[in-house]
Amino acid sequence: MLREISLEGKTALVTGGATGIGFAIAEQMIDAGARVIIVGRREEKLREAAAELGDKCSWYRFDVSETEKHAEFIQMLEKQSPIDILVNTAGINNKKDYFEFTAEEFDTIVATQAKAPFMLSQEVARYMKVRKKGCIILISSLAALLGMHEIQAYTVCKSGMKGLARSLARDLGPYGIRVNSLNPGFVYTDMLRNTNLKTPERLKEIEERTPMRGFTQTKDLGMAAAFLASDAARFITGIDLVVDGGISSSFLI
């Protein structure tokens, strides 16, 4: 088991890897032996993260919503080292009243949270297909399981990621490529702080509604992603792995 769970010799590309969940995924994958490439838009965040992650981490400033640049970027990375694992963590949210949401705002969310992971996975899978192996992880959300307040565009995308994992698992499985989604539950990152939960009362409410009490920690996601990417999960594909302390599977009154 210890041998199978190792990521020694593998290279992972983690989008959004400079902060929050993506950072923890990069950290745990490095801990399991992988070499990790992190990408994001803010150079200072990438520099800070890479300094913390050490010499098994490299970084590139890359906006995943610029899908026209995907092919060239992935070709450049593949020349350095084959990408064994892709984790599509980059994401944004916009919490807003449904009736106020504009078409432009919708397009912005979709560009980063749906179109980018769809197209980037396609580009990376072109190379994995030739090698007959690879692992792709998409990030879904409780919004794909439960109706959540004022995050409709985000919900469209995250439900899409859960579905896309199933669909790609079906079509890429014959090429040895596994595709799963990872469902984080509530994680207290910048995204949650800025867009969803603000007041202490609301935080307490979530904690108390969670059967395991408290919030999912970023490390919980890091370890789950490292497991999904490892040979220990060699026959796991098409699932939505929920790491939420039981909140989505319980009806607490």
Ligand X SMILES: NC(=O)c1ccc[n+]([C@@H]2O[C@H](COP(=O)([O-])OP(=O)(O)OC[C@H]3O[C@@H](n4cnc5c(N)ncnc54)[C@H](OP(=O)(O)O)[C@@H]3O)[C@@H](O)[C@H]2O)c1
Using rule CB under 6 A, residue 28 touches ligand X? no
Integer Cα distance of 124 and 81 in angstroms: 12
Comparing CB distances to ligand X, the nearer of 9 and 200 is 200
Distance linking the first and last C-alpha atoms of the chain:
40
Among 13, 57, 87, 91, binds ligand X (CB under 6 A): 91
Using rule CB under 6 A, residue 186 touches ligand X? yes
Using rule CB under 6 A, residue 65 touches ligand X? yes
| CB 37, min distance to ligand X, A | 12
Comparing CB distances to ligand X, the nearer of 167 and 194 is 194
Among 28, 112, 121, 210, binds ligand X (CB under 6 A): 112
Residues 6+ apart with CB under 8 A from 130: none
Among 11, 14, 19, 177, binds ligand X (CB under 6 A): 19
Among 40, 134, 160, 245, binds ligand X (CB under 6 A): 40
| CB 18, min distance to ligand X, A | 5
Comparing CB distances to ligand X, the nearer of 20 and 134 is 20
DSSP state of 250: -
Among 15, 180, 181, 237, binds ligand X (CB under 6 A): 15
Concatenated DSSP letters of 167-231: HHHHHHGGGTEEEEEEE--SB-SHHHHHHT--SHHHHHHHHHHSTT-S-B-HHHHHHHHHHHHSG
Q: Are strands 85-88 and 35-40 parallel, antiparallel or unpaired?
A: unpaired
Integer Cα distance of 115 and 110 in angstroms: 6
Active site residue 175: no
Out of 127, 154, 175, 188, which one is annotated catalytic? 154
Kindly provide the b/e burial profile for residues 154-175, where b requires at least 16 CB atoms within 10 angstroms of the residue's own CB: bbbbbbbbbebbeebbeebeee
Catalytically annotated residues: 154
The site for ligand X (CB under 6 A) is made up of: 15-16, 18-22, 39-42, 45, 63-65, 89-92, 112, 139, 141, 184, 186-187, 189-192
